[in-house]
């Protein structure tokens, strides 16, 4: 019983009761028995939706209640999330603790800020990249963390992001040897190994609060893992997915469909909405129309429109190309059972709490460029998607279904996923790109001053505890040290390793050293004032920017553009005969061209169409470019290169998405690129002109939106910003507002 728990802040038990939690789930009880309330390290390998969050809360809150290791009256906890989108979700969840005096802060934003303001929070939520950056920037409160929670720790297996989580855990544990570590994981093949690595007690279970039936649909039947079959006919001309969604609907439930690409998610949502629409009541239609209107008001892009059009008909898609506001509108409407079907890409399956009666894993293969062609998904990933099935207290059970189109495939899917155990988590640290950045940071922030100390540090990682080839990490580390030395990020004197001033800057800026080297070389090669396109291209060809793919026909188009604008590029252009390098140069050019379009006020909608991307991607690229240009500016300052004003201008233009003449106006909070253009065209060109302007002109330029006009005038520093009694001048066209 939760009432029997001790060592927690007064008020927490009542909070749980108000949430309907009076008895611990078995995995939670096991964590208590393992000593989580007494500072014991715990690894919890537990299925999706089985109450991991409460395990984390028990660890964090008891640590806070126990008091800080530094002698302070309250302790401090750090919750590491795998995705930025989840940081705000977790913060919102923990904010309820403020009622009993536990404060919560979320650390997002720029990598290089040191986050000192966070020092007063009891619980801090951040991504592993952010925590890594805070450590690099010497945020002092990091030393006083008493309990760290790593959510979705199985992502250590991810070659892109896993190494950062792994190294960050090792650093936090080195900073505070008394640190309590709580690691939450999906059920994995080697939880024991993870527990050994973290000196932790292990809670390893397949218990779930609601029964989960797994199965495969084939022909006209659903074959379940308990050996039973159920009739589930597919009518002529109907698709399997549609038939299953229909069947779930008849039973009063909702379906979550996982597919392998954004385009498929969108197409599936359109098709599945056809199934839902005829069954909607007039009230449901009205409520859905309200959600659709909210979706349209987020942005006027094609994706936004497509999504709203699906939602009106009772379905939706969910993928990383959506704006965050879109994602949460879809999640809320699905949780409220307004939406009956959502088709999603697996990227967002992890962590987003959207339970559903049925989960349909439609695609079990995904295109993988590095492996060449379609590759089967990991068992771990499929199990996580399946785990989203069933809402405790609402559904009698959850059902997760794969789709087979032949007898052979039916057997294969049972073997491969239904009956299979998840893979073990393997460290991906011993790779050059990962070690390049982490070795530099480890040296620059003083965790290692010699090669031996570096190897000792690396010995504290998961990699060292599971490597079948222990020499490998050492070999890669040596290659990387050489690279860092050659590029003057690190200097070596005998056995001693030291970061140069440039190396410190690169580490603090959170750049991949290879990106920094590319930027430094490019800026060095600049003759005269670099153009925005030249700078966008420079940052787009670094490994820190994901380039846009070249589609068919792009090669010709961008080759032509490359010759046309050759003088603008910083550094030599590779020859057309160097196939791979040239191709990658062109991809960077395509990315740079997209950024240039954005900075020349091309409509977001046109951009998404022209480059075949979602609005979320445009913003992602813009954010990355802004961050990299900011880094370029600091590197230029460090090297005393005379290009800072050009970089600053290119950065501001990409930040606001406007041409030069609008920079000042767009910098006023609440204005943005479109309104800045309208104000400018109405004759208001600067902030001070905005302060002095005729109110009816302002209101006219803002299409009669009084509240917006007042906010903007106030932000521009105008005292009498009220729009009472002002009518817009005639330039506003009817229907615009
Ligand atoms: P996980 O993080 O493992 O995916 P969550 O922590 O989000 O799962 O828990 C899933 C749901 O179960 C949440 O809605 C939560 O409120 C509920 N829950 C957790 N623990 C209990 C409990 N002991 N009793 C009743 N409900 C619980």
Q: Given this model, what pLDDT does residue 271 score?
A: 95
Question: What would the pLDDT profile of 285-341 be if each residue is shown by its tens digit?
Answer: 999 999 999 999 888 788 899 999 999 999 999 987 788 788 889 989 998 889 999
Q: Identify whether 427 is part of a domain.
A: no
- Other CB atoms within a 10 A radius of the CB of residue 623 amount to 12
Beta bridge partners of 450: 496
User: Both 672 and 644 in a single domain?
Assistant: no
Q: Given this model, what pLDDT does residue 734 score?
A: 42
Q: Given this model, what pLDDT does residue 732 score?
A: 47
Residue 111 has pLDDT above 60, yes or no: no
- For ligand 1, atom 9, which residue shows the shortest CA distance? 51
Beta bridge partners of 182: 42, 149
Q: Looking at ligand 1, which atom is closest to the CA of residue 209?
A: 12
Q: Given this model, what pLDDT does residue 273 score?
A: 96
Give the span between the Cα atoms of 617 and 167, in whole angstroms.
28
Q: Identify whether 424 is part of a domain.
A: no
Choose the residue to mutate in 13, 51, 149 for probing ligand 1, maximizing ligand atoms within 8 Å of C-beta.
51
54, HSE (Cβ side, Cα atoms, 13 Å)? 26
CATH number at residue 646: 1.10.3380.30
User: Both 695 and 722 in a single domain?
Assistant: yes
User: Both 257 and 125 in a single domain?
Assistant: no
Q: Is the dihedral angle over the CA atoms 451, 457, 462, 468 positive or is it negative?
A: positive
Q: Given this model, what pLDDT does residue 348 score?
A: 61
Residue ending a domain, choose from 204, 225, 240: 204
Residue 421 has pLDDT above 50, yes or no: yes
CATH number at residue 248: 3.40.50.300
- For ligand 1, atom 25, which residue shows the shortest CA distance? 21
Residue 344: which of 322, 324, 329 has the closest Cα?
322
Q: Identify whether 714 is part of a domain.
A: yes
Q: Given this model, what pLDDT does residue 27 score?
A: 97
3-state secondary structure 154-222: HHHHCCCCHHHHHHHHHHHHHHCCCCEEEEEECCCCCHHHHHHHCCCEEEECCCCCCCEEEEEEECCEE
Give me the domain span that covers residue 736: 659-737
Residue 308: which of 341, 330, 280, 278 has the closest Cα?
330
Q: Is the CB of 185 under 6 A from ligand 1?
A: no
Q: Is the dihedral angle over the CA atoms 83, 84, 89, 93 positive or is it negative?
A: positive
Residue 726 carries which DSSP code? -
Q: Identify whether 162 is part of a domain.
A: yes
Q: Given this model, what pLDDT does residue 737 score?
A: 38
User: Both 681 and 669 in a single domain?
Assistant: yes
Q: Given this model, what pLDDT does residue 112 score?
A: 45
Give the span between the Cα atoms of 486 and 493, in whole angstroms.
14
Higher local confidence (pLDDT), 221 or 85: 221
Q: Is the CB of 207 under 6 A from ligand 1?
A: no
User: Both 501 and 519 in a single domain?
Assistant: no
Tell me the pLDDT of the chain averaged across its residues.
91
Give the span between the Cα atoms of 316 and 447, in whole angstroms.
48
Question: What would the pLDDT profile of 456-468 be if each residue is shown by its tens digit?
Answer: 999 999 998 886 7
Q: Looking at ligand 1, which atom is closest to the CA of residue 351?
A: 4
Q: Is the CB of 51 under 6 A from ligand 1?
A: yes
Q: Is the CB of 54 under 6 A from ligand 1?
A: yes
Residue 415: which of 391, 440, 379, 455 has the closest Cα?
379
Q: Is the CB of 304 under 6 A from ligand 1?
A: no
Residue ending a domain, choose from 509, 541, 570: 509
Residue ending a domain, choose from 509, 544, 562: 509
Least confident of 107-116, 194-203, 450-459, 476-485: 107-116
Question: What would the pLDDT profile of 602-613 be if each residue is shown by its tens digit?
Answer: 998 899 999 988
User: Both 566 and 609 in a single domain?
Assistant: yes
Least confident of 24-28, 69-73, 466-470, 633-637: 69-73
Q: Is the CB of 108 under 6 A from ligand 1?
A: no
Distance 703 CA to ligand 1 centre (A): 47
Average pLDDT rounded to a whole number, residues 358-383: 86
User: Both 444 and 407 in a single domain?
Assistant: no
Q: Given this model, what pLDDT does residue 139 score?
A: 83
Distance 394 CA to ligand 1 centre (A): 13
Least confident of 341-355, 449-463, 480-494: 341-355
Average pLDDT rounded to a whole number, residues 84-103: 87
Distance 313 CA to ligand 1 centre (A): 31
Number of structural domains found in the chain:
5
């Amino acid at each position: 019983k939760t009432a029997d728990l001790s060592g927690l802040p007064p008020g927490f038990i009542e909070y749980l009761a108000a949430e309907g939690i009076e008895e611990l789930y078995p995995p939670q009880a096991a964590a208590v028995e393992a000593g989580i309330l007494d500072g014991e390290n715990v690894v919890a390998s537990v299925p999706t939706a089985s109450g991991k969050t409460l395990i984390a809360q028990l660890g964090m809150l008891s640590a806070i209640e126990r008091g800080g290791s530094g002698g302070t009256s309250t302790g401090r906890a750090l919750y590491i999330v795998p995705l930025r989108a989840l940081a705000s979700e977790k913060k919102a969840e923990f904010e309820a603790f403020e009622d009993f005096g536990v404060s919560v802060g979320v650390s997002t934003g720029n990598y290089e800020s040191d986050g000192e303001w966070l020092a007063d929070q009891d619980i801090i939520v951040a991504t592993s990249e952010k925590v890594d950056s805070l450590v690099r920037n010497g945020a002092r409160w990091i030393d006083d963390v008493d309990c760290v929670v790593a959510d979705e720790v199985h992502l250590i297996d991810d070659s892109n992001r896993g190494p950062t989580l792994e190294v960050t855990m090792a650093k936090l544990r080195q900073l505070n040897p008394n640190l309590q570590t709580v690691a939450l994981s999906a059920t994995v093949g080697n939880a024991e190994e993870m527990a050994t690595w973290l000196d932790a007690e292990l809670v390893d279970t397949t218990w779930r609060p609601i029964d989960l039936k797994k199965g495969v649909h084939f022909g006209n039947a659903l074959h379940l893992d308990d050996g039973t079959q159920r009739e589930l006919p597919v009518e002529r001309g109907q698709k399997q997915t549609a038939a299953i969604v229909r069947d779930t609907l008849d039973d009063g439930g909702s379906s979550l469909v996982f597919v392998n690409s954004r385009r498929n998610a969108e197409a599936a949502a359109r098709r599945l909405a056809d199934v839902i629409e005829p069954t909607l009541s007039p009230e449901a239609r009205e409520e859905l129309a309200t959600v659709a209107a909210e979706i349209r008001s987020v942005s006027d892009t094609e994706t936004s429109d497509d999504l709203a059009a699906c939602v009106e008909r009772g379905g939706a898609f969910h993928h990383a190309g959506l704006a965050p506001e879109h994602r949460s509108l879809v999640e809320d409407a699905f949780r409220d059972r307004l939406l009956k079907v959502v088709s999603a890409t697996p990227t967002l399956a992890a962590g987003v709490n959207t339970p559903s009666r049925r989960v349909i894993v439609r695609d079990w293969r995904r295109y993988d460029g590095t492996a060449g062609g379609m590759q089967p998904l990991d068992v771990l990933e499929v199990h996580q998607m399946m785990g989203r099935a069933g809402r405790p207290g609402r559904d009698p059970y959850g059902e997760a279904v794969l789709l087979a189109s032949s007898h052979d495939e039916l057997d294969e899917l049972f073997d491969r996923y239904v009956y299979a155990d998840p893979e073990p988590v393997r460290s991906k640290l011993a790779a050059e790109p990962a070690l390049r950045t982490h070795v530099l940071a480890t040296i620059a922030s003083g965790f290692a001053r010699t090669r031996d100390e570096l190897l000792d540090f690396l010995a504290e990682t998961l990699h060292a505890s599971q490597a079948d080839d222990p020499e490998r990490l050492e070999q890669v580390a040596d290659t990387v040290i050489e690279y860092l030395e050659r590029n003057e990020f690190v200097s070596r004197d005998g056995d001693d390793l030291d970061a140069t001033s440039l190396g410190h800057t690169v580490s603090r800026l959170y750049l991949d050293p290879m990106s920094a080297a590319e930027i430094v070389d490019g800026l060095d090669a600049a003759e005269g004032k670099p153009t925005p396109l030249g700078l966008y291209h420079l940052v787009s060809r670094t490994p820190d920017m994901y380039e846009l793919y070249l589609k068919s026909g792009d090669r010709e188009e961008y080759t032509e553009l490359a010759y046309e604008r050759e003088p603008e590029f910083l550094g030599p252009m590779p020859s057309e005969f160097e196939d791979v390098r040239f191709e990658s140069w062109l991809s960077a050019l395509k990315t740079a061209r997209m950024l240039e379009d954005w900075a020349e006020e091309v409509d977001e909608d046109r951009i998404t169409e022209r480059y075949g991307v979602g609005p979320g991607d445009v913003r992602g690229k813009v954010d990355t470019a802004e961050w990299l240009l900011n880094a370029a500016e600091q590197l230029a300052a460090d090297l005393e290169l005379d290009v800072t004003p050009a970089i600053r201008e290119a950065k501001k233009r990409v930040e606001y998405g406007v041409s030069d003449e609008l920079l000042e106006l767009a910098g006023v909070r609440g204005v943005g690129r479109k309104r800045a253009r309208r104000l400018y065209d109405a004759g208001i060109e600067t902030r001070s002109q905005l302060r002095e302007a005729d109110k009816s002109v302002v209101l006219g330029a803002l299409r009669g939106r009084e509240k917006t006009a007042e906010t903007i005038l106030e932000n521009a520093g105008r005292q009498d910003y009220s729009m009472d009694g002002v009518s817009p001048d005639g330039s506003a066209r009817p229907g615009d507002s």
